[in-house]
Structure 1
Amino acid sequence: MKGFFKKLIICVLPVFILIGFYACKPPKPSFTSPARYDLNHPEKFNMPESLLEISGIAFYKDKSDTVYSIQDEDGRLFRQAWMNKKQQHARFASKGDYEDIAILNETVMVLESKGTLYVFPFTEATQEDIQDIKIFKDILPKGEYESIYADNQTNQVYLLCKNCKDDKKDKSMSGSIFTYNSTKKELIPSGNFSMDLSGMIEKDEILKTGLKASALTRDPHSGEWYILSSVNKVLVVATPDWKVKSVHRLNSSIFNQPEGLAFDDQMNLYISNEGDELSAGNILKFKPKP
């Protein structure tokens, strides 16, 4: 009988050990999505080597037949058809740290990390070297910037701070609004805005140091803000008055380094990712659910 129980223990014990292992194993993290999209099943467009460090994307009048993009280090505006790796570019500046791009009607705006804006006519985008360019310096509070959004209806430009001194202390994220006068080529200060981050910090949805926004866009139908954070690997949806609506953790196996964000006129959502030694830069397309 003792031999029987010994054999029984030998057979059954590994099963209990295995059950205990899985019971103690932390659950797999859940990766949620905004109501209209499934962020876990994108259409993927790998970039050529020249756009390994793709940092910002935009569309002209929201038409997705041509993607306009920039990369971190070179002052070049790239353009290419969707799913066509062949690209062309127009040089607007020398080497720098270029983080985001917006196309406001007939004007292109490129944001440099210190808050400098490079502004030129869209007609220059097909030139080899852009000549008609205006540079706006020292128009923003001192800090680090990676996010710009341009509203074609109001001519307003929204600039979101990634790292500003007072934001960390206040557990908030601040930004500035300008109205662009295309005739005079002027950016007119038109107000400021702020988003309370304390709730997300308390829930450990983001780091205590803040959201660290890497891209910004707006749902053209609802007016909701979509804010991307590469550091926190999250996509935040906020109401038109900057109240946090939902926070969505991003799967790092899909989103290597999310840096760019845009909608097209068919309500498709696009997120660009920088590449690294093992993977190419890419743009991910998410079609709206029926």
Structure 2
Amino acid sequence: MNMKRTSILFIIIYLLTFPSSAWAQNKGDFPYNLESPSETYRLPAILEEVSALSYYGPSQLATLNDEQGRVYIYDFNKREIVQRIRFEGNGDFEGLELVGKNMYAIKSNGKLYKFNIDIEGVVESIDTPFTSENDVEGLGYDKNSNTLLIALKGKGDIDNVKVKGKAVYGYNLTTEKFSKTPLFVLQDKDLERVLGSNSTKFRPSAIAVHPISNEIYMIASVGSALVVFNNDGSPKNLSILKRSLFPQPEGIAFMPNGDLFISNEGGDGGTIHRFKMKQK
């Protein structure tokens, strides 16, 4: 992925050029109707605080409870948990991504874990440049560059790099190295201008790459919005999420056919909404 560092300021320019309502929801071109899920799955009590999603296999999603180092495989056809994978003790786990047979899970303090789903009891801990001040929330995967995308809810600064705004870094699985600077940055002040003067700052909670368009989808539980970026990191679409439907969106994942899943904490318990991709 040749994503360049960008600012959400480009959104403002777009808004000044085109009708804002068309950009914000983009109902004609946007491939999902976020106001009408095709299915809603109410999760068991153990996943009331579901914090992450990843596609696991046909009819199955990998999920996390943010307080335990356990992966729960949820079969949405059976509407039940069909497998549990323990990889660590308790902790604040916020991101999950399956790449081939390897599962990656990340804590809010930046600690990254890797384990093979077919080999029980072998877990690798990967050093990262992140700390609890970064408040890591999102973990995604770009297959074209073989890179994990790491979205920070807190400070974007790492080592000697100073960042104003919310940052997304990369971990290249081929070289096993982290990007020294963010792949792109979201400026808080510009997002506030887009989301409204009374809006709380946009704070990313999950990130995923669309399997067909390769666009980057990022949601925020604080700020209650979904932002879509082109493959180069430039912003393309912003959708405000209804609180009644998305009380606390914390996870995002795609089926290979493009169907979108968004998980939520809170409300009447954990839920996953499924949105079928519109056919052109």
Same fold flag (TM > 0.5): yes
8 A contact 2:62–2:72 mirrored in 1: yes
Letter in 1 for 2:177: I
Which stretches in structure 1 are left out of the alignment for 5+ residues?
A: 1-30, 125-129
The Cα shift of 1:208 comes to: 7.7
After superposing the two structures, state which structure 1 stretch, 197-206 or 252-261, moved more. 197-206
Q: Secondary structure at the match of 1:123?
A: coil
Which residue, 133, 141, 147 being the options, matches 2:138? 147
Q: Distance in 1 between matches of 2:84 and 2:230?
A: 36
Which residue, 73, 92, 95 being the options, matches 1:100? 95
1:132 aligns with 2:122: yes
- Structure 2 vs 1, CA of residues 156 and 204 (structure 1 numbering), >3 Å: closer, same or farther? closer
1:217-268 deviation line (CA, Å, top 9, x unaligned): 1122222111000011101111222222221111111111100001111110
Q: Distance in 2 between matches of 1:275 and 1:93?
A: 24
Q: Distance in 2 between matches of 1:58 and 1:89?
A: 14
RMSD: 2.4
1:237 aligns with 2:228: yes
Q: What residue in structure 1 maps to residue 259 of structure 2?
A: 268
8 A contact 2:208–2:216 mirrored in 1: yes
- Structure 2 vs 1, CA of residues 123 and 153 (structure 1 numbering), >3 Å: closer, same or farther? farther
Q: What residue in structure 1 maps to residue 25 of structure 2?
A: 32
8 A contact 1:41–1:286 mirrored in 2: yes
8 A contact 2:215–2:230 mirrored in 1: yes
How many aligned positions are there?
246
Which residue, 173, 177, 189 being the options, matches 2:166? 173
8 A contact 1:173–1:210 mirrored in 2: no
The Cα shift of 1:212 comes to: 1.0
The Cα shift of 1:138 comes to: 3.8
The Cα shift of 1:64 comes to: 3.7
Q: What residue in structure 1 maps to residue 80 of structure 2?
A: 86
Work out which of the two has the higher radius of gyration on C-alpha atoms and give 1 or 2: 1
Q: Distance in 2 between matches of 1:207 and 1:64?
A: 42
The Cα shift of 1:196 comes to: 3.8
8 A contact 2:95–2:139 mirrored in 1: yes
Which residue, 24, 37, 59 being the options, matches 1:65? 59
Q: Distance in 2 between matches of 1:84 and 1:206?
A: 44
| Structure number with higher relative contact order (C-alpha < 8 Å, ≥ 6 residues apart) | 2
Q: Secondary structure at the match of 1:203?
A: helix
The Cα shift of 1:97 comes to: 0.3
TM-score (norm 1): 0.77
1:76-133 deviation line (CA, Å, top 9, x unaligned): 1101211434313111111100011001112100110011111101214xxxxx4110
8 A contact 2:55–2:255 mirrored in 1: yes
Q: Secondary structure at the match of 1:230?
A: strand
The Cα shift of 1:153 comes to: 4.2
The Cα shift of 1:147 comes to: 0.5
